[in-house]
Amino acid sequence: MNNNKIIDVAIVGYGPVGQTLAILLGRMGYNVAVYERWKTLYPLPRAVFYDHEIRRAFRLMGLGDKLDEISQPSSCYQWFNADWKVLVEIDWSAESISDGPFGYLFSQPALEAILDNEAKSIGNVAIHQGYEVLGIEQNAEFAELRLRQTALKGEEPGEEQLVRARYVVGADGANSIVRRELDIDWQDLGFQEDWLVVDVQPKPGVELDVPDIGQWCNPARPTTMVPGGPGFRRWEFMRLPHETLEELQNIDKAWKMLARWVTPETANLVRHAVYQFRSRIAESWHQGRLLIAGDAAHLMPPFMGQGMCSGIRDAWNLSWRLDLILKGTCPDSLLEGYTPERKPQIRAVIDASVEMGKVVCVADPVQAAERDEAFLSGNVPPLPPFPGLVDGLVYKSCSGLPTGPAGSLSVHGNIEVDQRTLRFDEAFGRGFHLISIGDDPLQALSNEQRTFLDRLGVRSIRLSTKGTLGTYRDVSGKYHDFFHAEGVQAVLVRPDFYIYGGVSQLSGLPDLVNALRSGLGLGQSGISDTTAAEHAMAVGR
């Protein structure tokens, strides 16, 4: 390691969040170094679910075909009472806004292997496994990490080394050294339960009589049943008040709880471990040149399947912000929107996960009966829709709240390009997109505003139902349906698929563009070409 060189971004942690961020930034051409304390990837399952938004991100990264080999579409997520009466049904197989089912089940070790191979194939991404971070300092120019090689039992610790980076992202889990170095408060949101997680691989020819995805809300033993990716199954059993952790970790205890579904004769035990499901969130996710993401910034119960998904969203969000800063388009202040943008969405997801957990984790028969009666009689309101963005870089009304479709996830569907039908992302890739129906939206803008959009890399994409001159045909019809439902003629979509804002008439587009420019910290004129060139030289581009 050359401590005189200043790399663009150092990432601490090499799980799915760190891997994803390394791939995204590496493909943009930045010099990225990753430091992971463990020398090898963790070989056992953890997360088993990702949703349509994350699948869209992985597909845009070119991993779709490989992902198909390790994933399976989700089915209906059912919650049963002790007598197997359905309390709740959530159709995760339904068509999503992102084109395809709402969710997918997968094997995390298989996913990490795919991401690992991809990251290591990028020449400007250096992966350092077996290095622990001892401390971090930062100044106005760079952050400096103090590291050494991880010593195995009986080995002498390696020599300390220094690494400098323009920015450091801590994707290093719940015990994040980056978060501790920043002395960021870690807020406990009150949910804490111990569960035994058991992964099995049914033997060839074995058919299991078990709900595909379900919560058995049985007070005698609340239980989760879910696929663990193709060829695997997972059960999760809540620790009861009279049980000790040691008792729950006994392998015979695990087989006893599995007995009604599988036995050693019908399945192989892959892993069993006790986890404490918690709900926590960091007060701030950014200080100066240091940022945190994933489990370093938030923890949640698994009942919505959003733990890993939320971390991938963090990486997806950070990648385009760091890109605009590192190439000199936007000032460092763009990072100030990271926490206020991501935290409210994550907090809403955690709160929903906790509420779902309170329904599942009932070990008292009387309370369970009261819960069952409420659900079976229809006295429980449906789950709220998945939260969008309510702050940060979104178009707001005078009240300070997002206006129209701002902050919501953009629709994704098939369009016709040069007589070929493609997914939108396949045709146009990642970036800022001005999507419209009707007249050319650029005609509503001044030359200065068009120049700003060009500099930001915004691509104007006009859609029609027939693919007339200057437009692309909306094959799926999703875009026109969305625009009509929202009452808009044009929307400006960010690189992470979220809508910055929309306008009902093109006459409102100049105000939207000016607000975007201000939100990016560029004022009316933006960063001058001279400033941009100086910034690019500073980072060695």
pLDDT value of position 391: 95
Residue 536 pLDDT greater than 90, yes or no: no
Which residue in 105, 360, 377 sits closest to 215, CA to CA? Answer: 360
Would you give the DSSP letter of residue 430? S
Asked if residue 497 lies in contact with residue 56, where contact means CB atoms within 8 angstroms, the answer is yes
Report the CATH fold assignment for 414-519.
Glutaredoxin (3.40.30)
pLDDT value of position 1: 52
DSSP, collapsed to helix, strand or coil, labels residue 490 as: strand
pLDDT digits (tens, 9 = 90+) for 154-193: 788 788 999 999 999 999 999 999 999 999 999 999 999 9
pLDDT digits (tens, 9 = 90+) for 402-461: 999 999 999 999 999 989 999 999 999 999 999 999 999 999 999 999 999 999 999 999
Residue 529 pLDDT greater than 90, yes or no: no
Going edge to edge, which strands form the sheet with 103-106? 49-51, 103-106, 71-73
Extents of the domains making up the chain: 6-61+107-186+280-345, 414-519
Cα–Cα distances (Å) from 411 to 97, 268, 401, 516, in that order, read 5, 42, 21, 20
Partners of 437 in beta bridges: 463
Which residue in 390, 317, 377, 313 sits closest to 348, CA to CA? Answer: 390
Kindly state the average pLDDT of the residues 279-289: 97
Per the listing, tokens 């943008």 go with 341
Would you give the DSSP letter of residue 152? P
pLDDT value of position 484: 97
pLDDT value of position 524: 59
Mean pLDDT of the chain: 93
- Counting every residue, how long is the chain? 541
Domain 6-61+107-186+280-345: which CATH class? alpha beta
